[in-house]
Amino acid sequence: MCSTDEAFKKECALLKDFFLNIGYPVDLVIDLTVEVSSKRLEGFLTPLLSSRSPPSPSGRPLDTLDPLPLDPSCGQDTIVVDTNKDPDFSASFITAFNTNSRYICSIMRKNCFFIMNSGLHDRLGLSPIFTYRRGNNLKDILQRNTKCDHLTRIKGTSTCGCCKWCRYLRVGNSFIIGERKYFINHKINCKTKAIVYVAFCQCCAAFYVGKTDRRFCDHIYQHIYAINNKKSDNALSKHILNSGHSFLFMGIDHISMDIRGGPQSLIVETRELEWQLQLDAFSFPGLNENCNIAAILKYKSYLR
């Protein structure tokens, strides 16, 4: 309900016009307006925020209180406050409601003379006004937080922010190979499993398309280990040995496990081959060497 009679009349007029414009019967709208107005006058409907002055800590109405004394060092003897003004709830103290709220409010009211001495009495009134936010209920305490990073981050490759392999990731929601731009339609980070990825050389146009069933960070570690040990059977290590370049990794596709299960590993291998063919990874500047069609044959036999 509105706090003042003037605001109540404006709200009634606004609602009356609204319901008439959408086709409600005129007699019905007028009768309801009269009924609500009479109930407010009779006290059945009261404002949520009273327009009366807030009570004082002593229980006496504020209008009957004597002026509050100031510190003599301020050069004034009393505070003069207009008690006829309606309380301004925009200047109230906002806090979450809990079992200690009453105790906290009593402490603030008891020590409100500090505020009076600061010259804010014209704005805040003789006594502080409190507005409560809803505190945590049982649902808030038990329910899993829905603002987790893996649920709220945008589509694309992003870092998990808590592992040492994040620095090897290329963050973004798109990538360009040749003259074509590709967009990533999944949410992928270091901890994501069953993905297809691209390793981009930072110094030239070379790239490598691969896949992993494990966590992305574990597969990155495998590549870094091969590079550090200068293994010639690893495509990235071979390129770095010949050129001295470095690579960043970017997840481009994610295969989520269906609720009924299925050959996820075969699907990942099939999707890897599709991306290798789409990006022409077997031709320069691609670093992939062998085209493995065994995954497609296995997947087709599984579907049979």
Tell me 24's DSSP state. Answer: -
pLDDT tens across the length of the chain (304 residues): 577 788 888 888 888 888 888 888 888 888 888 888 888 887 777 665 544 444 444 444 444 444 444 444 444 444 444 455 555 555 677 777 777 888 888 887 787 776 666 666 666 666 777 787 877 778 777 775 544 444 445 789 998 878 888 999 999 999 999 889 999 999 999 999 999 999 999 999 999 999 999 999 999 999 999 999 999 889 999 999 988 899 999 999 998 876 555 677 888 888 999 999 999 999 989 999 877 777 777 777 766 6
Residue with tokens 């495998």: 222
Does the pTM of the predicted model rise above 0.85?
no
Phi-psi category of residue 244: left, alpha or beta, with phi > 0 → left and psi -120 to 50 → alpha: left
CB 225 within 8 A of CB 184: no
Two structure tokens written together for 98: 């809990």
pLDDT at residue 75 in the model: 46
CB 94 within 8 A of CB 133: yes
Which residue type does 55 have? Answer: P
Q: Which of 257, 254, 187, 192 lies closest to 220 in space, CA to CA? A: 192
What are the CA-CA distances from residue 171 to residues 66, 166, 217, 248 (Å)?
66, 9, 14, 9
Phi-psi category of residue 258: left, alpha or beta, with phi > 0 → left and psi -120 to 50 → alpha: beta
What are the CA-CA distances from residue 69 to residues 65, 76, 81 (Å)?
12, 8, 12
Compute how many other C-beta atoms are within 10 angstroms of the C-beta atom of residue 298: 15
* CA atoms lying within 13 Å on the CB side of residue 212: 22
pLDDT at residue 71 in the model: 43
SS3 282: coil
Distance CA 120, CA 125 (A): 8
